[in-house]
């Protein structure tokens, strides 16, 4: 999971960097496992906070996919991108290419806000983007953490820039 937790002590105040957000962490020692619990006080449940909740609940969302004639469960946060080729839909992770029986529009409704439609036939996980580069024809090229390069179609460039804060 790409969620980054780092807890630091500053004058006895604990702060955690969760994704790009800074949150105060209050850790209290209890006497029994029955008393253990996690409590979050948030203004809004952002994608980063939802990822933290999913991590605490050990509740990673999954999609059933096929790999070498076996059905496997693919964790959504492991997906780099999803592509439709010749009426078939493929999920690309760091190490595997999996086939799913869903269409892209069906997967879009199941995916988190970390995913973005990059072309008519492609959805990209924004958290897996290493860098982006503008092209002269109005498109963009995104380099993913695994070194692959994918093209962002012109009609989707504006949304990507907004989502990345560019």
d(CA 102, CA 99): 9
- The pLDDT value recorded for residue 11 is 42
d(CA 96, CA 6): 29
| Contact (CB, 8 A) for 1 and 77 | yes
- The pLDDT value recorded for residue 70 is 84
**Chain length of the chain:** 166
Q: What is the pTM of this model?
A: 0.64
Q: Quick one: which H or E segment has residue 104?
A: helix 104-110
What parts of the chain have a pLDDT lower than 50?
Answer: 1-13
- The pLDDT value recorded for residue 56 is 67
């Amino acid at each position: 999971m790409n969620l980054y937790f780092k807890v630091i002590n500053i004058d006895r105040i604990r702060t955690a960097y969760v994704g790009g957000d800074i949150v105060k962490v209050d850790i209290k020692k209890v006497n029994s496992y029955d008393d253990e619990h996690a409590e979050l006080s948030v203004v809004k449940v952002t994608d980063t906070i939802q990822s933290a909740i999913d991590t605490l609940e050990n509740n990673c969302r999954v999609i059933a996919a096929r790999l070498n004639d076996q059905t496997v469960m693919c964790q959504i946060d492991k997906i780099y991108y999803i592509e439709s080729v010749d009426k078939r839909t493929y999920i690309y992770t760091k190490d595997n290419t999996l086939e799913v029986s869903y269409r892209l529009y069906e997967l879009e409704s199941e995916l988190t806000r970390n995913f973005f439609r990059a072309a008519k036939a492609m959805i990209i996980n924004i958290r897996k983007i290493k860098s982006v580069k503008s092209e002269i024809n109005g498109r963009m090229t995104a380099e993913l953490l695994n070194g692959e390069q994918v093209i962002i179609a012109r009609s989707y460039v504006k949304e990507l820039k907004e989502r990345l804060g560019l």
